[in-house]
Amino acid sequence: MPPDQLSQTLSALADPTRRSILARLSIGDATVSELAEPYDMSLAAVSKHLKVLEGAGLISRSRESQWRPCHLEAEPLAAVSEWLEDYRRFWDRSLDSLADYLKTMKTTNPKPSRRSPKSSSRKLKK
Amino acid sequence: MPPDQLSQTLSALADPTRRSILARLSIGDATVSELAEPYDMSLAAVSKHLKVLEGAGLISRSRESQWRPCHLEAEPLAAVSEWLEDYRRFWDRSLDSLADYLKTMKTTNPKPSRRSPKSSSRKLKK
DNA sequence: CCATTATTTAACTCATAGGTTGATAACTAA
DNA sequence: TTAGTTATCAACCTATGAGTTAAATAATGG
């Protein structure tokens, strides 16, 4: 049984080398050798990491003569972000402030201070 | 060498059973047996999952006579969210709109339409 | 065709993850 | 004290992950 998409994505992201590779790719596309250069490991090992990332849909690869340039595909990250949203209220202090603010509005309707920018990222549950 | 915090968190989250446990805990604290009830696996297995979650700082446990109620600790999720922020621009369409907006401001300085709320979550790179 | 460069595959090692069962610990209740 | 609940620990099994080296594949350029 293949693991669900989210598990596959998270497990791909759980390796620091792979996250580092993604960071590199966020700058721009790169070949396997270019990607391998910073690491003290064989090319084959990096090739494996790329396979994992590709399997998770986090990168795509084209062919350009003998090179296989890798390209960042961030869509699976959006799924992670969506999953996280359900938990945001558990850590986002400013959301508590927002809750307080709304509550205060309802009860006393004072002139509240400005909210911090951080609180604006809450999205509606779907 | 212990893995870095982020890797530990992501690897803990990469298991569907553990994510399911977190979802249950987002409703409220629960004992080990309560948490184990939905799964077709031994109590010991669930106990191990809880140990992993605790190791990642995703739950905490208190003692209450012979029960060990588990509590969701979402802080590590905030770290994941922060990490994700650097990649949001790669999937968040409304951020492109924001970029367009800024570009337009610079060049023609028209009266632009309001941005969607979704785009407001971009934070500064640290 | 041959040599070179870029990348993948195969076969292997070693460590860890996720599960099992059975014993043990911690506490309650009688 | 004894029995019953709740949870963990220890020992074990099997599968998988991350790395290795060496061979194979793919494309380029004499």
Mean pLDDT calculated for residue range A72-89: 96
DSSP state of A119: G
Contact B10 A10 (CB under 8 A): yes
pLDDT recorded at residue B104: 54
- CA B119 to CA B95: how far, in whole Å? 5
Q: Which residues contact A68 (CB under 8 A, 6 or more apart)?
A: A31, A32, A61, A62
Identify the band that residue B77 occupies on the pLDDT scale cut at 50, 70 and 90.
very high
Q: How confident is the model over B100-116, as pLDDT tens digits?
A: 555 555 454 433 333 33
Residue B115 CA: distances (Å) to CA of A33, A115, B93, B111 = 41, 18, 12, 12
pLDDT: which is higher, A124 or B9 = B9
Nearest CA in chain A to B88: A78
Residue A2 φ/ψ, nearest 5 degrees: -75, 145
- CA A56 to CA A58: how far, in whole Å? 5
Highest-pLDDT range among A60-64, A100-104, B5-9: B5-9
Mean pLDDT calculated for residue range A24-36: 96
**Residue numbers in B 43-62, CB below 7 Å of strand D:** 43-44, 47, 50-51, 61
Distance from CA of B108 to the nearest CA of A (A): 27
Kindly state the percentage of chain B with pLDDT values over 70: 72
Contact residues on chain A for B13, CB-CB shorter than 8 A = 10
- CA B21 to CA B32: how far, in whole Å? 10
Q: What are A67's strand-pairing partners? A: A64
Query: Do residues A14 and A58 touch, judged by C-beta distance below 8 A?
Result: no
Average pLDDT of chain A, as a whole number: 81
Mean pLDDT calculated for residue range A75-102: 82
Q: Which of B10, B60, B72 to mutate to test the interface with A (most CBs of A within 10 A)?
A: B10
Identify the band that residue B34 occupies on the pLDDT scale cut at 50, 70 and 90.
very high
Length of chain B: 126
Q: What are A61's strand-pairing partners? A: A70
Q: How far is CA B4 from the centre of its chain?
A: 16
Contact A81 B72 (CB under 8 A): no
